[in-house]
Amino acid sequence: MPRATNSPASRKRRKRVLLRAKGFRGFRSKLYRYAKDAVYKARQYEYRDRKKRKGQFRRLWIQRISAAVRNEGMTYSRFIEGLKAANIELDRKVLADIAVHDLESFNGIVAQAKAALDNKAA
């Protein structure tokens, strides 16, 4: 009995891997054996870095907020504490956007946070 290799499916699978490895350097894009490992590793990095990107954006937002708040003579941590005391529930993404595009309204939010901190201390 002849040996069945399932050739069309195997070829399709290998072609799919080589297409994903397109753009890799050297034999990692040409030879299935090495392309398979490279694609596997690339997909791990892809998954991990989707998660990391969220943290990177959060750090960027915090830097932007901190820079804008320091112009008003306040630190970032005291500002966040003041927001909580004033019951202002804006996330860091929105606060950073306001700080970059609409500085006057951001300064109003900072003033509210300062007032809430003063009331909390008294």
For the chain, give the number of residues.
122
Work out the pLDDT band at 29, boundaries 50, 70, 90.
Answer: very high
Q: Is 82 exposed, middle or buried (0-12, 13-18, 19+ CB in 10 A)?
A: buried
- Using only C-alpha atoms, the chain has a radius of gyration, in whole angstroms, of 27
Query: The pTM is what?
Result: 0.80
Rounded to whole angstroms, the Cα distance separating 102 from 107 reads 9
Residue-wise pLDDT for 87-121, tens only, equals 999 999 999 999 999 999 999 999 999 999 999 87
CATH 1.10.1900.20, applies to 9-121: yes
